[in-house]
A and B are shown apart, each in its own frame.
Chain A
Amino acid sequence: MAAVRSEKDSFERLFKAQYARVAGIANRVLVDPQEAEDVAQEVFMDFHRLHSASSAYAAPWLYRAAAHAALNRVRGRKRRERRELAQALDEQARTLDPQQEAELNEDRRRVRTALAKLPHKPATVLVLRASGLSYSEIAESIGVGTGQIGTLLRRAETALRKEVNRGTP
């Protein structure tokens, strides 16, 4: 029982320490705080069922899983996409006039669609870096050496630019 208690406490500590960051990574992809929180909870529950909360790899596992799960959701969005992005407007966006709002939504939709078309690894690198993770944290999350992150980022940024331009009318 003591071991179960200890695992529960460890998980609670892990959850509270990492939740905002995990949800933030998902939100970076989804631009929808509510859906990002759904993804974050799924990711934590998956982790809890499979791993010990005191694992050294807990945080990097969660970061990568959040990026992957969110990217998968964008890939599966299709028709729901416009409606969901429309719901993601924040206070700042709400101060814009309807024309600006529509343009902002369209830009976000276009970028996320382009992001989701990239292979998983470059897309994840971009999302994690944009979410404020350090090079070493990204390296740990995707299982490569820190020295490779610069090259991966460069390639991913080039690929994103090309994909966005391709999708621009």
Chain B
Amino acid sequence: MAHLNDGTLRRMVDDPDAVAGPDREHFAGCADCKARFAGMESDAMSANALLATPETQFDANAAYRRMTAQPARPRFGFRLPILRPASRAMVAALALVVLVAVGVTAAVNVSNIFQPQTVKPVPITVADLESLPNLSTYGDFKWVQQPTPAIGVSKAEAEKVAGFSAPDAKSLPAGVTADQITYAASSQIVGSFTFSAAKARAAAAAQGKTLPAMPSGMDGSTLTMTIGPAILELYGNVTAPSGSTTDPTQIQLPKLLIGESKAPSVTSTGVSSKELENYLLAQPGLSPELAADIKALGDPSTTLPVPVPVQYATSSQVTVQGVQGVALGDNTGLGAAVIWIKGGDVFFVGGSLKQDDALSVANKLG
């Protein structure tokens, strides 16, 4: 019979009854196994002695009181409920938050052109969102090119709508196959926003507030925001029981989503980025934390802020395909995403997967 392996012998050091039957009989008559066992026992005792510590009592009740007495300091969290079917309302809310916050922040920070080349996280709270000014009270928005999403189309149709090739996942995490991919695409979306000092004054007066005066040149100036075109790939069965894939509200959330979009851009007439930023930061009620985060974004004309809801998400900066990206989530498998900009396109890989898996897919995306 073969000698007992190291793992078994080591286990016998802690539990002499760990082996039974033939293994036990072999050990009883094998000088070689006994010699190896003696060496392991000696090493184990030595390690135990080396790692011995004085006996210490820890008071959990006192520690809990100390901890709960500290002010809450949430960091970016990603207990990502957004990918669970039960959380569709949250998904919709978060999507809206992202669009509004990116739009507002971009609008605030743009000079003559906003052409992001990198992404950075901006932690936000519900209070922050409530403190953000409502854009519609500052002027008039109109569609230049309305969104016309094509959902549940073939790969070829999606590529035709977007005008570029769909991203190719060369590596998929365990449990995800390329058997069933649902494609969605959108052509370019363009909207314009024209500032109106009179409208802002009237809206503020109706709420009993006084807004800071718009800087000269801002009244009547127009921001033009361009988003897309974009392609989204949803892996797995995303159809509702009815089988419909054309109604976005009926789509079940998939384990893996991959998206690619032309980076958003903003052009402005008549108002400088500094004036816009100062004006937004002077609005009543804007939280000091959010104001500081906006200021800390770096070069506003080349940075795409990724709003991260602090109660739900953790974020970290990562290197993806040789460029800086933002990773959201963790390795619990509950939810993770990676967002980065490369070659003028914004990429997104996310889903109910581990961050390592999301990063692996992202790094091998072709």
Is there contact, CB below 8 Å, between A149 and B54?
A: no
Closest to B76 in A: A49
Cβ contact of A148, chosen from B7, B43, B50, cutoff 8 A: B7
- Find chain A residues with CB under 8 A from B249 CB: none
Q: Within the assembled complex, what's the spacing in Å between the Cα atoms of A32 and B61?
A: 20
Q: Within the assembled complex, what's the spacing in Å between the Cα atoms of A108 and B10?
A: 25
Q: Does A77 contact B (CB under 8 A)?
A: no
Q: Does A120 contact B (CB under 8 A)?
A: no
- Find chain A residues with CB under 8 A from B44 CB: 153, 157
Cβ contact of B56, chosen from A15, A17, A27, A45, cutoff 8 A: A27
Q: How far apart are A10's CB and chain B's nearest CB, in angstroms?
A: 13
Most chain A CB atoms below 10 A, which of B10, B50, B52, B67:
B50
Q: How far apart are A57's CB and chain B's nearest CB, in angstroms?
A: 8
Is there contact, CB below 8 Å, between B43 and A157?
A: yes
Closest to A31 in B: B53
Is there contact, CB below 8 Å, between A157 and B7?
A: no
Is there contact, CB below 8 Å, between B47 and A130?
A: yes
Most chain A CB atoms below 10 A, which of B51, B63, B78:
B51
Is there contact, CB below 8 Å, between A41 and B66?
A: yes
Is there contact, CB below 8 Å, between A50 and B9?
A: no
- Find chain A residues with CB under 8 A from B74 CB: 49
- Find chain A residues with CB under 8 A from B14 CB: 135
Known: A49-B77, A51-B79, A115-B51. A23 touches B58 (CB 8 A): yes
Q: Does A16 contact B (CB under 8 A)?
A: yes
Within 8 A of B (CB), among A66-88: 88
Within 8 A of B (CB), among A1-59: 12, 15-17, 19-20, 23-24, 27-28, 31, 33, 36-37, 40-41, 44-45, 49-52, 57
Closest to A158 in B: B43
Known: A40-B63, A49-B314. A130 touches B48 (CB 8 A): yes
Closest to B54 in A: A90
Q: Within the assembled complex, what's the spacing in Å between the Cα atoms of A145 and B344?
A: 45
Q: Does A164 contact B (CB under 8 A)?
A: yes
Known: A49-B77, A158-B43. A150 touches B10 (CB 8 A): yes
Q: Give the size range of B's interface with the partner.
A: 35 or more
Is there contact, CB below 8 Å, between A27 and B53?
A: yes
Known: A135-B11, A150-B8. A37 touches B58 (CB 8 A): yes
- Find chain B residues with CB under 8 A from A156 CB: 47
Within 8 A of A (CB), among B228-245: none
Q: Does A99 contact B (CB under 8 A)?
A: no
Within 8 A of B (CB), among A85-107: 88-93, 107
Known: A50-B79, A111-B51. A161 touches B46 (CB 8 A): yes
Is there contact, CB below 8 Å, between A50 and B330?
A: yes
Q: How far apart are A96's CB and chain B's nearest CB, in angstroms?
A: 12
Q: How far apart are A22's CB and chain B's nearest CB, in angstroms?
A: 9
Is there contact, CB below 8 Å, between A157 and B40?
A: yes
- Find chain A residues with CB under 8 A from B207 CB: none
Closest to B11 in A: A150
Q: Within the assembled complex, what's the spacing in Å between the Cα atoms of A45 and B74?
A: 9
Most chain A CB atoms below 10 A, which of B6, B46, B47, B79:
B47
- Find chain A residues with CB under 8 A from B216 CB: none
Is there contact, CB below 8 Å, between A154 and B6?
A: yes
Q: How far apart are A32's CB and chain B's nearest CB, in angstroms?
A: 10
Q: Does B60 contact A (CB under 8 A)?
A: yes
Is there contact, CB below 8 Å, between B64 and A126?
A: no
Cβ contact of A161, chosen from B47, B314, B332, cutoff 8 A: B47
**24 pairs, CB–CB < 8 Å, chain A vs chain B:** A16-B64, A17-B60, A19-B64, A23-B58, A23-B63, A24-B56, A27-B53, A41-B66, A49-B74, A49-B314, A52-B79, A88-B54, A89-B54, A93-B54, A115-B51, A127-B51, A149-B11, A151-B5, A153-B10, A154-B7, A154-B10, A154-B40, A157-B46, A164-B50
13 new A-B contacts, CB < 8 A, other than A24-B56, A28-B51, are A23-B56, A23-B58, A24-B58, A33-B56, A88-B54, A150-B8, A150-B9, A151-B7, A154-B6, A154-B10, A157-B43, A161-B43, A164-B50
